[in-house]
């Protein structure tokens, strides 16, 4: 009797309930190598689940929280999960950053469903897999020229500049760090932009630049 290979245990994190349910059902009903063991709508629901970690996490890039994608990918990798990003956002800058952070795949929600099994099974083996369309898109993109912002700098700047109305002291309390540390992260980020000829004097300028460079993600337009 031939050996039956265990299926790859997959978790999906997507804050759109219908998309989450449809994707999980399609994977479990259609593929022979994958099994969706968990489908949740928030980051915290994933990392606090008793069965965490999983072989591969399908992670929506936009979850409407204040945790940078790079930080999430790093946390998943440290826990032993491989990561595949799935999103409606396929701008080359986002794809490049996700791959640089350690994701082993990036799927557009407009991709044919058949690509999912190829990408996820490759990720489970520790191999990078990008679809031909995504490779073509990346090949025509200009080299990224934005500063190398750390996840914590990104987090502080996003909370400070976005529509939260937070002071530096409030940002520090939210992140569990000192006000001095929060100020240092914000100062370092601004210096990185200033060195590239982009001074950021006001919150509005800071927010607009972070959105432009995809450090802050806004909901995709319908």
Domains, the chain, ranges and CATH?
Answer: 8-139 (3.40.50.2300), 151-212 (1.10.10.10)
- Taking residues 14-21, report their average pLDDT: 93
Model pLDDT, residue 5 = 63
Name the pTM for this structure: 0.77
Model pLDDT, residue 112 = 85
CB 122 within 8 A of CB 129: yes
Question: Does the structure show a pLDDT above 50 at 13?
Answer: yes
Give the residue with greater pLDDT, 165 vs 125.
125
78-110: per-residue pLDDT in tens? 999 999 999 988 888 888 889 988 999 999 888
Average pLDDT value for the chain: 87
Q: Hey, which of 102-116, 149-163, 176-190 has the most confident mean pLDDT?
A: 176-190
Q: Hey, which of 32-46, 80-94, 133-147, 157-171 has the most confident mean pLDDT?
A: 32-46
Query: Phi then psi for 44, rounded to 5 degrees?
Result: -65, -35
132-152: per-residue pLDDT in tens? 888 887 765 555 567 888 889
Model pLDDT, residue 221 = 44
Q: Is 217 left (phi over 0), alpha (psi -120 to 50) or beta?
A: beta
Distances (CA, A) of 143 to 93, 96, 114, 138, 139: 9, 10, 30, 9, 10
Q: Specify the residue for token string 């004097």.
A: 201
Question: Does the structure show a pLDDT above 50 at 3?
Answer: yes
With bands split at pLDDT 50, 70 and 90, how would you rate the model's confidence at 163?
low
Give the residue with greater pLDDT, 204 vs 48.
48
With bands split at pLDDT 50, 70 and 90, how would you rate the model's confidence at 222?
very low
- Taking residues 158-167, report their average pLDDT: 80
């Amino acid at each position: 009797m031939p050996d039956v290979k265990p299926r790859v245990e997959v978790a999906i994190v997507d804050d759109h309930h219908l998309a989450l349910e449809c994707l999980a059902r399609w994977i479990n009903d259609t593929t022979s190598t994958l099994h969706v063991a968990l489908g949740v709508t928030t980051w915290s629901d994933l990392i606090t689940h008793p069965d965490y970690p999983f072989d591969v996490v399908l992670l929506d890039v936009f979850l409407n929280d204040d945790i940078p994608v790079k930080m999430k990918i790093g946390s998943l990798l440290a826990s032993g999960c491989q990561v595949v990003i799935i999103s409606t956002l396929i701008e080359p800058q986002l794809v490049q950053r996700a791959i640089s952070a350690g994701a082993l795949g990036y799927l557009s929600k407009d991709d044919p469903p058949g690509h999912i099994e190829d990408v996820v099974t490759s990720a489970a083996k520790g191999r990078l897999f990008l679809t031909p369309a995504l490779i073509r898109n990346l090949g025509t993109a200009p080299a990224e020229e934005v500063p190398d912002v750390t996840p914590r700098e990104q987090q502080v700047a996003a909370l400070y500049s976005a529509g939260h109305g937070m002071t530096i002291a409030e940002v520090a309390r939210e992140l569990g760090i000192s006000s001095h540390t929060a100020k240092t992260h914000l100062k370092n980020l601004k210096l990185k932009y200033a060195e590239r000829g982009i001074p950021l004097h006001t919150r509005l300028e800071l927010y607009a630049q972070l959105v432009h460079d995809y450090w802050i993600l806004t909901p995709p337009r319908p």
